[in-house]
Amino acid sequence: MARKLQGLQTIAFDLSPKIVGSATIAGPKEKKGNLAPYIDNLVPDPMLGEQTPEKAERKLLYQTCQEALARAKLTEHDMDFFLGGDLLNQIISSSFCARDLGIPFIGIYGACSSIVEGLGLGAMLVDGEYADQVLIATSSHYQASERQFRYPIELNIQHKGTSQWTVTGAGAAVLSTQGEGPRITCVTFGRVTDYGIKSPDIMGAAMAPAANDTLCRHFQDTNTSPGDYDLVLTGDLGNMGQKLFMDLAKEAGHTLGTKHMDVGATIYKPQQRAGAGGSGCACAALGILGYVIKEMYQGRYRRVLALATGALFSPLSYQQGDSIAGIAHAIVMENP
Amino acid sequence: MARKLQGLQTIAFDLSPKIVGSATIAGPKEKKGNLAPYIDNLVPDPMLGEQTPEKAERKLLYQTCQEALARAKLTEHDMDFFLGGDLLNQIISSSFCARDLGIPFIGIYGACSSIVEGLGLGAMLVDGEYADQVLIATSSHYQASERQFRYPIELNIQHKGTSQWTVTGAGAAVLSTQGEGPRITCVTFGRVTDYGIKSPDIMGAAMAPAANDTLCRHFQDTNTSPGDYDLVLTGDLGNMGQKLFMDLAKEAGHTLGTKHMDVGATIYKPQQRAGAGGSGCACAALGILGYVIKEMYQGRYRRVLALATGALFSPLSYQQGDSIAGIAHAIVMENP
């Protein structure tokens, strides 16, 4: 059973669900990037032989779910629930994946923060003994996102230096109290924070205040500070958003220094011309289920605070003059 | 603490979270329909003075959240989490509402089944003592949905007799173990079911198999039958889907007869020319949080099985030749 820290946003788990299996997949651009050694499956063709990027994304997601199940030595029949979400309208990647898996489906949407929303909710379901095992997964695809949120890539519209590059990939995790793996000991669900940013070309700036809000709330609720963690990971703030986040955190009294790493700012190399860095649901997923988990198994990190950030908008809300709000959800991952 | 019925999809709650406050809102078309006496707030202008239907939908949602909070004699500051979802791309109605409420946000997507997905998850959070109080809400808007999923209404495209009419409205509920109100005693999360329907003009048929799958699973898991409920409510199967659902249930050995009511098939009068009936996230929400709750307070119903159905597709998946899959989530509502 969990302890909800009274009147606060953070929940600490007593049973501490474990990530007993996880898998990551990504495409050729990610293969040339910095996180390639941490990604389980690097596919040479981002279309996976499919006719459309949407169908390719679905395939990435399904394959990764099966791989995570295999690594947990379980099958879809052992799962009580599948929690999935993605960036595509009506989260079709996740819905179709849920159809093919046949597991009772809890659809979620947290934009690029979806993986942590899913891990946090999934951890509750397992900790609360509502489920023995749950599967959580998310995906994104550069081409599918570009044409949905911006322009079809065939138009060759020039990217801005501050825009981010949607990661093509997926990540999946199996949570259970049985078995071995990093434990999820805490979750902090974030509030929607709006700093009035209106351009989808500077989403890092739209998300940085949300990341800082959740960071501060988490430290306050748990009475911890950066010194209590080996790593504070953020999802996809990118180069610009990362700087803003560090500044905001410092203003709030939290100096992160070298303990901080942003997946979006790290995933691509400068010569890859990916603007301000990576983004998309797969970005945080590759960071958490690829980089963090592997480094935890290697013994480099014992306790990690992972914050995934999301920009909450649609092309239509942007066209109607609405600002782009941000959200960040956080989990604490610990080695036994 | 809950009892998860081992190896099954249904969770029975021991603490039984109560719906301690709820509110519904709808527009002028719904005012002329059969459920008008059960809807708290019937607005004369479906645009609520806003320039776009998307902004109007957001306003419907926010106002209804505030009304539900007021009826529970609580404010947004008393809420631990807000669970919200809607049909618009990237669930912008819910995200912007969450921004304005300032409550930590768990975004969900279950198409028109969202209200029950939210109530089921929310009930878990309260039952598991992860939250003291949660707010759950959903919305839909005829004009916003038409132009997103079909055609802008200005084009005057003729509806088919089998198409459904998206309900303009919203519903919100506050769950807590403190206070009085109908209890949520069970939740059954559904699997995604695909019968190969490819036309968005016959969504009732796409959702009926999912409703039947969850119905059968619920009866099996809980060892109950239609005789154990005063009402079996479905969300928005409409006239066509309702008939298919009744047939499928009968084939599976469950004769529902007069115990069944579908909100979509009931909400509009035949002379309102709403095709096969109502649909949209607000449809099931008005049925459950309007009709069912009020009739429970009147003592007409003591135990209700409420199934909300959703069609899982996007205009793009439909254009790419994918079929329209369905999902249904169920809760049991009981008077003390």
Q: What is the 3-state secondary structure (H, E, C) of A143-209?
A: HHHHHHHCCCHHHCCCCCCCCCEECCEEEEEEEECCCCCCEEEEEECCCCECCCCCCCCCHHHHHHH
Cα(A54)–Cα(A70) distance, integer angstroms: 25
Helices (H), B2-113: 28-31, 53-71, 92-101
Side-chain half-sphere exposure of B257, counting CA atoms within 13 A: 8
pTM over 0.80: yes
Give the model's pLDDT for residue B112: 97
Nearest to B325 among A54, A95, A327 (CB): A95
Which residues make beta-bridge pairs with B278?
A: B165
Residue B317 tokens, joined: 């998946």
Give the model's pLDDT for residue B5: 59
pLDDT tens digits for B261-292?
A: 999 999 999 999 999 999 999 999 999 999 99
ipTM: 0.97
Distances (CA, A) of B197 to A98, A101, B104, B209: 17, 19, 37, 11
Residue B240 tokens, joined: 């066509």
Give the model's pLDDT for residue A1: 45
Q: In 3-state terms, what secondary structure has residue B84?
A: strand
Give the model's pLDDT for residue A6: 54
Mutate to test the interface with B, among A317, A327, A331 (most CBs of B within 10 A): A317
Mean pLDDT computed over B300-318: 96
B318 to chain A, closest Cα gap in Å: 10
Q: In 3-state terms, what secondary structure has residue A262?
A: strand
Give the model's pLDDT for residue B290: 98
List chain B residues with CB under 8 Å of A126: none
Record: contact B124-A129, CB cut-off 8 A: no
Record: contact B1-A102, CB cut-off 8 A: no
Record: contact B312-A54, CB cut-off 8 A: no
Q: Hey, CA dihedral for A53, A54, A55, A57, is it positive or negative?
A: positive
Residue A148 tokens, joined: 């949905």
B245 to chain A, closest Cα gap in Å: 19
CB A307 within 8 A of CB A214: yes
List chain B residues with CB under 8 Å of A106: 108, 110, 117, 121, 189
For residue B125, what pLDDT band results from cuts at 50, 70 and 90?
very high
Record: contact B317-A96, CB cut-off 8 A: yes
List chain B residues with CB under 8 Å of A107: 85, 108-110, 117, 327
Residue A280 tokens, joined: 């998309």
Record: contact B316-A89, CB cut-off 8 A: yes
List chain A residues with CB under 8 Å of B55: 320
B300 to chain A, closest Cα gap in Å: 31
Residue B170 tokens, joined: 């919203």
List chain B residues with CB under 8 Å of A136: none
Separation of first and last alpha carbons in chain B: 18
List chain A residues with CB under 8 Å of B150: none
DSSP element (H, E) containing B317:
helix B315-319
List chain A residues with CB under 8 Å of B51: 320
Cα(A224)–Cα(A229) distance, integer angstroms: 9
DSSP state of A108: B
Nearest to B314 among A89, A117, A325 (CB): A89
Record: contact A54-B317, CB cut-off 8 A: yes
| Residue A89, number of CB atoms within 10 A of its CB | 21
Closest Cα partner for A232 from A173, A250, A121? A250
Cα(B107)–Cα(B92) distance, integer angstroms: 10
> How are beta strands A165-166 and A278-279 bridged, if at all?
parallel
Residue type, B66: Q
Mean model confidence pLDDT for chain A: 95
Mean pLDDT computed over A26-34: 98
Record: contact B54-A320, CB cut-off 8 A: yes
Nearest to B104 among A125, A190, A322 (CB): A190
Nearest to B90 among A121, A194, A313 (CB): A313
Give the model's pLDDT for residue B1: 45
| Residue B102, number of CB atoms within 10 A of its CB | 14
List chain A residues with CB under 8 Å of B312: 90, 92, 95-96, 99
What residues have CB less than 8 Å from A271, skipping those under 6 apart? none
pLDDT tens digits for A75-134?
A: 999 999 999 999 999 999 999 999 999 999 999 999 999 999 999 999 999 999 999 999
Per the rule left: phi > 0, alpha: psi between -120 and 50, beta: everything else, B90 is left
Nearest to A110 among B81, B88, B107 (CB): B107
Q: In 3-state terms, what secondary structure has residue B312?
A: strand
Residue B182 tokens, joined: 């109908």
Q: Is the pLDDT of residue B6 over 60?
A: no
Cα(B66)–Cα(A252) distance, integer angstroms: 31
Cα(B132)–Cα(B124) distance, integer angstroms: 11
Residue A3 tokens, joined: 């302890």
Cα(A285)–Cα(A168) distance, integer angstroms: 11
Q: Which residues of A223-256 are buried (b: 16+ CB within 10 A; e: fewer)?
A: ebebeebbbbbbbbbbbbbbbbbbebbeeeebeb
**Which chain A residue has its CA at the smallest distance from B100's CA?**
A192
The three-state DSSP-derived secondary structure of A2-47 is CEECCCCCEEECCCCCEEEEEEEEECHHHHCCCCHHHCCEECCCCC
Cα(B84)–Cα(B106) distance, integer angstroms: 7
**Which chain B residue has its CA at the smallest distance from A193's CA?**
B99
> How are beta strands A133-140 and A105-107 bridged, if at all?
unpaired
B118 to chain A, closest Cα gap in Å: 10
Mean pLDDT computed over B223-247: 97
Residue B300 tokens, joined: 């007409």
Domains of chain B: 2-176 (3.40.47.40), 183-334 (3.40.47.40)
